[in-house]
Amino acid sequence: MHHPLSTLTALVEQIARTQDPSAMMATIVQRLSELLNVEVCSIYLCNPERDSLILATTKGLSAEAVGQAHLAINEGLVGHIAATLSAVNLADAPADDRFVYIPETHEMAYHRFLGVPLLHLRKLVGVLVIQGHQREPFSEEDEAFLITVASQLGSTLYQLHRDGKWMTNLPDSSSPYRRYNGVKGAPGVGCGRLWQIHPQMSLSDVKPSITSNPAQQKQDFQDALAAVREELESGSGRLGQHLPADVGALFHVYQMMLQSPELSERVIKLISEGASAEWALKQTIDEMAGMFEQSADPYMQARSEDIRNIGQRLLNQILERDQQVIETPDEELVLAGDLISIADIAAFPQERIRGLICTDGSALSHTAIVANALGIPAVMGVEGLELEHNRGARVIVDGNRAECVINPPPALLSEYKRMIVQEQRFMKGLDRLRDQAAETLDGVRIRLLTNTGLLADATPGLQRGAEGVGLYRSEIPFMVHHSFPTEHEQYRIYQKVLKAYSPYPVSMRTLDIGGDKQLPYFEINESNPYLGWRGIRFTLDNTQLLVSQIRAMLRAHAEHGNLKILVPMISRVDEIKTVRELVEKALAALERDGIHASMPEIGMMIEVPSAMLLLPKLAPYIDFVSVGSNDLTQYLLAVDRNNPRVSNLFDNLHPAMLVALEQILTQCRKLDLPVSLCGEMASDPIAVLLLIALGYDTLSLSAYNIPKIKLLIRSVRREDLLPLLEQAKDCTDESEIRDLFRPVVEQLGWSADGPALPSDYESRG
């Protein structure tokens, strides 16, 4: 039987157009039974709650068996396929000793059998089976075609399988219980009624339109600007008592966006050219947000959400449809929407907000920053959740695992409520650790620094006990302009950050921009931006930009004396040598201008493997080293963590990373170079234990995680971790390493997803 590629393509396209889960699966089995001319085609999916398979849909077997036929992994032919992940092609299935008859299916009449596993990124999704009356195996061509179909369907069925919707379409399955995954916005667990926040018209829905009265449209826009400005001032006042002062400054960031000439002048210009206020606003916001969305850096991408939030609120005011919270249920609420702005949060009583769910957004959005500051669990970028359909539903927000659960069963709800009580007990009293040292029980001192990139990020780090800034991202001023910012504009920003942390050190990273972080006024097109014109390569080729930034940093350093310059993406000796020469020349030039600044420490980030191998030759030109664990892992493993096809292979605890981290530390000690580590690894409890055992004594992490990691450090003995480290060196993959350290974490009452209160926490003070 001939199965051309066009047949497979048509099948996949037809399935992609089918939105309803039950209809999608019905389409698959119906079309395959027709294409292969077989009497039976069935799909078995993994039961997400048990280690088993369930008949999800069929063409040919009894409909009564759907939802009723269960097989354990390795039970029957289907279970054997699931266990071995291999195809089975038989002439007479009932005669095989692995065959298990399920009466509900009425399948004894069928003899020939062909089944193949359904996989997505190495994970078992289910099993695809075809059967027929004849007593002969299926042809090699049929087998090859079914394997090809299964490889194409694996991803589609994984999405359907993950959110659990298919189970609600099964007979006798009336439970509306659903799970949805997203990305971590803010840790913690919360439970409440889902309260949808959404505009009656989305900015994305605005269509091209013209105006016959430009003067009135301009006035409408100006009135909207004033109304949103007043709204933000009011919201800032309501949240002021709950937010750290500088996180409250996020409202000021929004105010600055409202006052941006790029926003108002562009909208007014488009209205003058004939566009309606709504259409002019949409075009302007799309342009401004697009500048950030082009970046491959998640931190930069997240800034587009703030711009779109402001644009949406302006549109609401123009249309006079802004959602007002007149009366909400007098109970605990979970706010949900495409994007939830800071002003949205401020409109609700803080004591009633138990969680945030955003179907868009990222962990680096302002919404996530505020949620962290307020201690509200948040999950961002949730896929597949139909907010309108689930309004008023009971929902659990699990920020630790980045998932939300709609209409949880009573037993699950009870367990989560127990976790919430544990988390509340854990968080209570962590403030007492602010001024205490991050020191192990056997006296090993670890210095905890914070990562930041907005001035609004500064105060949370200080309030949670940060001993300085290990990584300040300096890209923001360059991203929000329509031209390169002046030296003085940069100086004003850097001066505020250094002042906020004085006398603690602040490691300011020089401009890390290039093919993966597009500037709106300096386009770079590359086929592989991660290996292209970025970081120090870009700034050295545009020396005037680097000199301007160095001068701005040094001017701020002259006033506060706590600057450390950090250079990204070093891969060659001449790069860091040139940077030091530029700093020395800038100091001399400033001295002639009457500005007296001392020579700051100059360090480099180890992100590229060549920098690790060249350390002895780089040492004469640097004063310290910072290991960028995210990029080093990515380059060392050749894994793009933003690529869903391989992101599951990204793990900071890969054995190769362990070798690299030990080698870096050993060399730095020989060269008398202080070394720190930043990135996600510094917030991972198991990774932190490994780093302590290795001998790393300075970590840079997000402000929110500092108290938790400090408590972890104060709860262990480094001496007890050393034998585990020696065993880890013999491990062949990251899962073995995690399994070694996991018991230590769990004995302290922690988990890989989020900490619970250690049993003797109160006695530790």
Residue 742 lies in a domain: no
Is residue 38 predicted with pLDDT exceeding 70?
Answer: yes
Q: What is the pLDDT at residue 321? A: 42
Per annotation, catalytic residue among 80, 111, 366, 654: 366
Q: What is the pLDDT at residue 323? A: 42
Are β-strands 624-628 and 601-606 bridged in parallel, bridged antiparallel, or unpaired? Answer: parallel
Residue 631: which CATH number? 3.20.20.60
Residues 121 and 168 in one domain: yes
Task: Output 299 or 222, whichever has higher pLDDT.
Answer: 222
Is residue 6 predicted with pLDDT exceeding 60?
Answer: no
**DSSP 8-state code for residue 683:** G
Task: Output 389 or 79, whichever has higher pLDDT.
Answer: 79
* Helices within 397-464 (DSSP H only): 410-427, 458-463
Are 704 and 187 in contact, with CB atoms under 8 Å apart?
yes
Residues 193 and 116 in one domain: no
**DSSP 8-state code for residue 113:** E
Confidence of residue 609 (pLDDT cuts 50, 70, 90): very high
Lowest mean pLDDT among 19-28, 256-265, 473-482, 609-618: 473-482
**DSSP 8-state code for residue 375:** T
Cβ-based neighbours of 603, under 8 Å, separated by 6 or more:
507, 564, 565, 566, 567, 622, 623, 624, 625, 626
Lowest mean pLDDT among 296-300, 394-398, 410-414, 722-726: 296-300
Among the three residues 131, 156, 174, which one is the final residue of a domain in this structure?
Answer: 174
Residues 411 and 493 in one domain: no
Q: What is the pLDDT at residue 160? A: 67
Neighbours of 245 (CB within 10 A): 12
Q: What is the pLDDT at residue 516? A: 47
Q: What are the backbone angles phi and psi of residue 117, rounded to the nearest 5°?
A: -75, 150
Task: Output 530 or 679, whichever has higher pLDDT.
Answer: 679
Q: What is the pLDDT at residue 305? A: 73
The predicted-structure confidence for 301-339, as pLDDT tens digits, reads as follows 666 777 787 888 788 778 764 344 444 556 789 999 887
Where do the DSSP E strands lie in 457-556?
A: 469-473, 506-509
463-489 average pLDDT score: 79
Please give the C-alpha separations between residue 535 and each of 38, 557, 604, in angstroms, as whole numbers: 58, 22, 12
Per annotation, catalytic residue among 41, 46, 191, 678: 678
504-512 average pLDDT score: 93
Confidence of residue 447 (pLDDT cuts 50, 70, 90): very high
Are β-strands 469-473 and 445-452 bridged in parallel, bridged antiparallel, or unpaired? Answer: parallel
Confidence of residue 1 (pLDDT cuts 50, 70, 90): very low
Are 704 and 433 in contact, with CB atoms under 8 Å apart?
no
Residues 165 and 184 in one domain: no
Q: What is the pLDDT at residue 567? A: 96
Are 101 and 113 in contact, with CB atoms under 8 Å apart?
no
Are 126 and 118 in contact, with CB atoms under 8 Å apart?
yes
The pair of structure tokens assigned to 504 is 């603690």
Of 706, 686, 703, 683, the C-alpha closest to 694 is 686
Q: What is the pLDDT at residue 18? A: 53
Instruction: Output the DSSP codes for 714-731.
Output: TT--HHHHHHHHHHHTT-
User: How many whole angstroms separate alpha carbon 465 and alpha carbon 437?
Assistant: 9
Lowest mean pLDDT among 444-448, 481-485, 499-503: 481-485
Q: What is the pLDDT at residue 751? A: 58
Of 113, 44, 105, 33, the C-alpha closest to 73 is 44
Neighbours of 755 (CB within 10 A): 22
∠ CA 364-366-370 to the nearest 5 degrees?
110
Q: Residue 380: CA atoms inside 13 Å, Cβ hemisphere, count?
A: 25
Cβ-based neighbours of 21, under 8 Å, separated by 6 or more:
160, 165, 166, 169
User: How many whole angstroms separate alpha carbon 120 and alpha carbon 149?
Assistant: 13
The DSSP bridge partners found for residue 736 are: none
The predicted-structure confidence for 39-91, as pLDDT tens digits, reads as follows 999 999 887 555 788 888 899 888 888 888 888 888 999 999 999 999 999 99
Are 107 and 86 in contact, with CB atoms under 8 Å apart?
no
Lowest mean pLDDT among 2-16, 503-517, 722-736: 2-16
Residues 498 and 561 in one domain: yes
Of 709, 544, 566, the C-alpha closest to 625 is 566
Residues 170 and 197 in one domain: no
User: How many whole angstroms separate alpha carbon 220 and alpha carbon 319?
Assistant: 9
345-349 average pLDDT score: 77
Among the three residues 174, 201, 218, which one is the final residue of a domain in this structure?
Answer: 174
Residue 764 lies in a domain: no
Q: What is the pLDDT at residue 589? A: 96
Residue 757 lies in a domain: no
User: How many whole angstroms separate alpha carbon 228 and alpha carbon 255?
Assistant: 9
Sign of the Cα torsion 301, 304, 309, 310 reads positive
Residues 21 and 170 in one domain: yes
Lowest mean pLDDT among 23-32, 106-115, 448-457, 543-552: 448-457
Neighbours of 747 (CB within 10 A): 12
Residues 132 and 193 in one domain: no
Residues 306 and 346 in one domain: yes
Is residue 666 predicted with pLDDT exceeding 90?
Answer: yes
Are 642 and 296 in contact, with CB atoms under 8 Å apart?
yes
Q: What is the pLDDT at residue 320? A: 64
> Catalytic residue at 198?
no
Q: What is the pLDDT at residue 546? A: 92
Is residue 444 predicted with pLDDT exceeding 90?
Answer: yes
Residue 402: which CATH number? 1.10.274.10
Mean pLDDT of the chain: 81
Amino acid at 556: A
Are 274 and 214 in contact, with CB atoms under 8 Å apart?
yes
Of 187, 176, 174, the C-alpha closest to 402 is 187
Residues 624 and 689 in one domain: yes
- What is the percentage of the chain residues whose pLDDT exceeds 90? 35
Of 212, 210, 332, 229, the C-alpha closest to 279 is 210
Rg, C-alpha atoms of the chain: 29
Residue 466 lies in a domain: yes
Please give the C-alpha separations between residue 381 and each of 298, 385, 424, 708, in angstroms, as whole numbers: 13, 10, 25, 25
∠ CA 446-450-454 to the nearest 5 degrees?
175
Is residue 300 predicted with pLDDT exceeding 70?
Answer: no
Is residue 28 predicted with pLDDT exceeding 60?
Answer: yes
The predicted-structure confidence for 214-230, as pLDDT tens digits, reads as follows 888 888 888 888 887 77
Is residue 549 predicted with pLDDT exceeding 50?
Answer: yes
Q: What is the pLDDT at residue 113? A: 95
Confidence of residue 729 (pLDDT cuts 50, 70, 90): very high
> Catalytic residue at 120?
no
Residue 763 lies in a domain: no
Q: What is the pLDDT at residue 510? A: 94
Lowest mean pLDDT among 195-209, 237-251, 495-509, 733-747: 237-251
Residues 138 and 253 in one domain: no
Are 190 and 156 in contact, with CB atoms under 8 Å apart?
no
The pair of structure tokens assigned to 699 is 């970590």
Q: What is the pLDDT at residue 441? A: 96
Are 607 and 569 in contact, with CB atoms under 8 Å apart?
yes
Confidence of residue 367 (pLDDT cuts 50, 70, 90): confident
Residue 765 lies in a domain: no
The DSSP bridge partners found for residue 380 are: 183
Among the three residues 359, 394, 427, which one is the final residue of a domain in this structure?
Answer: 427
User: How many whole angstroms separate alpha carbon 313 and alpha carbon 226?
Assistant: 11
Is residue 170 predicted with pLDDT exceeding 90?
Answer: no
The pair of structure tokens assigned to 644 is 């869903």
Amino acid at 380: M
Residue 744 lies in a domain: no
Are 561 and 503 in contact, with CB atoms under 8 Å apart?
yes
The pair of structure tokens assigned to 454 is 């907005």
Could you tell me the residue range of the domain that residue 318 belongs to? 180-427
Residues 460 and 589 in one domain: yes
Is residue 169 predicted with pLDDT exceeding 70?
Answer: no
Look at the chain and report how many structural domains it folds into.
3
The pair of structure tokens assigned to 128 is 């695809």
Residue 204 lies in a domain: yes
Task: Output 235 or 447, whichever has higher pLDDT.
Answer: 447
Residue 29: which CATH number? 3.30.450.40
Q: What is the pLDDT at residue 198? A: 65
Are 398 and 377 in contact, with CB atoms under 8 Å apart?
yes
Are 178 and 231 in contact, with CB atoms under 8 Å apart?
no
